[in-house]
Structure 1
Amino acid sequence: MSGESPATRPVGGTEYSWCRAVPGGTGVTVSALLLSKPPNITQLQSYVIKLQSFHPILRSKLRFDPATNGYSFFIPVDPPTQLIQACDGIQSFELVIEHEMITNPWVNMNLNQMNQVTEADVMFVTVYTLPDEKSAVVLRLHTAACDRAAATCLVRELVELIGSGGEIGSVKEEGLGFAIEDCIPAGKAHKPFWARGADMIGYSVNAFRFSNLEFKEVGFPNSTQLVRLKIGLEDTNRILSVCKSKGVKLFGVLAAAGFIAARVSKNLPDEQWEKYSVATLIDCRSALDPVLNDHNIGFYHSAVLNSHDIKGGEDLWDLAQKIYTSFTTAKDKNKHFTDMADLNFLMCKAIENPGLTPSSTLRTSLISVFEEPMTENTNEFYKEAGLLDHVGCASVHGVSPSLAIFDSIRDGDLDCACVYPSPTHSREQMQDFVGHMKKILVECGAANESCDSNLCVKLL
């Protein structure tokens, strides 16, 4: 294209950090639908165009200009996103998702050797033919343009379009939306200069003290792999019931189970302390000015980073309470707003200097979780669309935690997409790790009171 649309806007600080992260392998957002029958390609293409008409940012391009070393979104005149029908013999839904997470059209955007402006779409849609006449439809998006909440909204809208034959009740968005920094209420992000400097030093120093899972291979990982953590309705209800009675949220219990499973995996001597870190992602839409909702496509999450000392023998629910309390204390102090620029800056520094991270693996924390799970309930559109399964997650083999948990409650069942960098961590290692987390969650939910890590050892 020549020239820019008048609607062009520069990316904000958080969006810029994702523009730096995605080429390295973290932030390729994938929403994948498993269908019981092949979709009508012509109709599906029309539905994607309709989604783009409701959400203009989905038909924008991301531009990198070496002259300004900057990024911006703009709306191209045409063409709309085209579907690619893949017939490459991928045999399972999970392998399709892994393939999509390493298919990165943005990888060379800021490496243009001709010193020219580089542009790429923010969304791609691919259809895969799977065994038994099943199909997978995958939305692959740049995380700077679409966070988890927005991606889940898009899936709901696409399923509604497929199930209803093209009818949808959504309201069209205007323009390319806002950068999150432009929507933070006045005063919420204020931090004195010296406090900012002290926090930056604190984050940097503490990072060297974090303990990690065993690295199977050191150095830069090259792919993201997936492990599912599924818990049935009865056990999920037990876990959520105890969460409610103890006044904690699900993310605290997931993080606690991860901490306990990580320490047990190392067979450490009793009372030997390790410091584990958790990054908790917050959907800020309801706290912004103007107030936004899931229909507002963009990246509107922030993060709170906390660490906890673990010595073995911890009770799951006590540890979950500590994790949850630390998070709420930080959130009450607006650290998800005041520290946003600090964490973005440190993220970019880690990308530029992998040697500053443990074994140059680009690991920044043990686990990342979301403050709230995605909640989905099957309706007539799901049945009409022939939807058998849905997974939403993002790649993590650039700068990121060792395990990122994308949790959802679907028809009452807990369903977590757990992604990790490979070969930094092996599939066998992470299947055991996530499997151990599941045993802890199920057993401690059934116990309904307490479950210490000595019991967790017996569960293996």
Structure 2
Amino acid sequence: MSSETERRLVGGTEYSWCRAVPGGTGITVLGIVLADQSDISHFRNAIHKLQITHPILRAKLHFDPSVNNFSYIIPPNPHFQIQSFDFQSTAEILRTIRDSDTDSSSISSFQLILEYEMNRNDWASSEEETESKPDTDVFFASSYILDGGALAMIIRLHTSACDRAGAAVLQRQLLGLITEEKDYEEELGQDGELGLGIEEYIPAGKANKPFWARGVDMLGYSLNSFRLSNLNFIDADSPRKSRIVWLKLDQDHTSRVLDGCKSRGIELCGALSAAALIAARSMKGLPLGQWEKYMVVTLINCRSILQPVLSNNQLGFYHSAILNTHDISGEEKLWALSKRTYNSFADTKRNNKQFTDMSDLNFLMCRAIENPGLTPSSALRTSFISVFEETVLDRFEKKQGIVELEDYANCASVHGVGPSIAIFDSIKNGCLDCACVYPSPLHSREQMEELIGEMKKILFNLED
């Protein structure tokens, strides 16, 4: 391990997340529930090893007013403290949540803790406080004792330091270390390196765009935003938090959906986007043939197309976004719309839009943060839905190693700038399991559960 403190300025995409997270979008949470609370010592040891292997996990964010930018400062040694909540403290947190949210009575304690952590914002500050704000960790760890003595272990991360693909790797490594699997011990045996921002790894020429084309695209994105349809906003004025609803399918229905995607040469993100678009429009009760335009954001893990190629084990933010709009009339069938949405995304990706539009979208994201009035009802909604090109494939068993795994999940907050619904999809032991995150009370839990219910009906009825 290096004996010196490292530091580097954040890149353009990382900077946009440094601007977004204080408002509530980009707080990533990883959660694992184990049956035995004595496993807290394994949790502590696992975090220590992860911070040695991944230097970004021991980083602090520092704002430098002289360059109006943020830096990562990486101390040479791990530094962390698990914030532990005993059963009584956890029960009080859950009671407070349920008292303030009448719709939460039937929601599991684990989900409520995930939501609670997703809305704990150590990076929040006003513009006036930014210059004087002390350096802030990008990584926090907490533990909670749930009913029956189960232990919920939560990691909370600044998204600039760990994207969704990195979070999936981190979760697997965490569980592997807790269960003392030798493969993970060997993998995490040496100190890693602090990577650069994604812009530094884009292959030469791939991000080039003529000045006039950049201007046309920026104008197009701006004008299109006024024509986009959204789910109806329930409360656009009250302070917001991120909430979760779940979309789950059993093995049989999951296999049918995946087989349908494979036979048509598309990925699951196409089917999920199509089901959501059909469901959203059907909820409005509009007459058939009345067109609405919706924006879909697809996030791409760019590691395999960077130079040099990076592995998912390289933590940082190495995703890029592709925006596509789709006109929906109410007459669409699932598979036809799935192919249309996925092919639009694939064509855009083939044209390298994930690189050529990166700086444009980062700029527009920051402008929306600064000027919420540029979005409908000042809701900061930049799209209807966001999905990921790649589905996370999890193969954790119910019992693994020396501990009993009861549940796990990972997702990120969206109640600042972002979509109305962000789908974090995974396949758990052959079953589709999606954490669908939305901003509340801009949208209500009842409204989002209705949307997910409509999506499930559509995914159950797969005939065109």
TM-score w.r.t. the length of structure 2 is: 0.92
**Residue of structure 1 equivalent to 2:116:** 99
Which shows bigger deviation, 179-188 or 74-83? 74-83
**Residue of structure 1 equivalent to 2:408:** 390
**Residue of structure 1 equivalent to 2:187:** 170
Q: 1:151 to 1:128 in 2, by over 3 A?
A: same
Q: 1:6 to 1:81 in 2, by over 3 A?
A: closer
**Residue of structure 1 equivalent to 2:53:** 54
Q: Please tell me whether the aligned partners of residues 51 and 78 of structure 2 are also in contact (alpha carbons under 8 angstroms).
A: no
**Matched-pair identity in %:** 52
- Residue 172 of structure 2 corresponds to residue 156 of structure 1: yes
**Residue of structure 2 equivalent to 1:453:** none
1:111: how far off? 4.3
1:219: how far off? 3.3
**Residue of structure 2 equivalent to 1:376:** 394
State the AA in 2 paired with 1:361: A
1:390: how far off? 1.2
**Residue of structure 2 equivalent to 1:455:** none
For 1:377 and 1:165, the matched residues in 2 are separated by: 15
Which shows bigger deviation, 130-139 or 347-356? 130-139
Q: Please tell me whether the aligned partners of residues 64 and 110 of structure 1 are also in contact (alpha carbons under 8 angstroms).
A: no
Residues 302-344 of structure 1, C-alpha deviation per residue, up to 9 Å, x if partnerless?
0100001001110110001100110011000000000000000
1:382: how far off? 3.4
| Consecutive unaligned residues in structure 1, runs of 5 or more | 451-460
Q: Please tell me whether the aligned partners of residues 43 and 153 of structure 2 are also in contact (alpha carbons under 8 angstroms).
A: no
TM-score w.r.t. the length of structure 1 is: 0.93
**Residue of structure 1 equivalent to 2:34:** 35
1:47: how far off? 1.4
State the AA in 1 paired with 2:332: E
The 5-angstrom pairing of residues 52-451 of structure 1 reads 52-76=51-75, 80-86=79-85, 87-89=89-91, 90=94, 92-108=109-125, 111-112=128-129, 115-116=131-132, 118-164=134-180, 168-171=185-188, 172=190, 174-219=192-237, 221-379=239-397, 382=400, 384-444=402-462, 447=463, 450=464
Cα RMSD for the two superposed structures: 1.8
State the AA in 2 paired with 1:157: Q
1:192: how far off? 0.6
Which shows bigger deviation, 277-286 or 130-139? 130-139
Q: Please tell me whether the aligned partners of residues 227 and 431 of structure 1 are also in contact (alpha carbons under 8 angstroms).
A: yes
Q: 1:125 to 1:39 in 2, by over 3 A?
A: farther
**Aligned with 2:381: secondary structure?**
coil
Q: Please tell me whether the aligned partners of residues 22 and 142 of structure 1 are also in contact (alpha carbons under 8 angstroms).
A: yes
Q: 1:435 to 1:384 in 2, by over 3 A?
A: farther
For 2:400 and 2:164, the matched residues in 1 are separated by: 20
State the AA in 1 paired with 2:435: A
| Consecutive unaligned residues in structure 2, runs of 5 or more | 95-107
Residues 350-385 of structure 1, C-alpha deviation per residue, up to 9 Å, x if partnerless?
000000001011000000000010001125973533
For 1:5 and 1:397, the matched residues in 2 are separated by: 37
For 2:27 and 2:365, the matched residues in 1 are separated by: 16
**Aligned with 1:402: secondary structure?**
strand
**Aligned with 1:228: secondary structure?**
strand
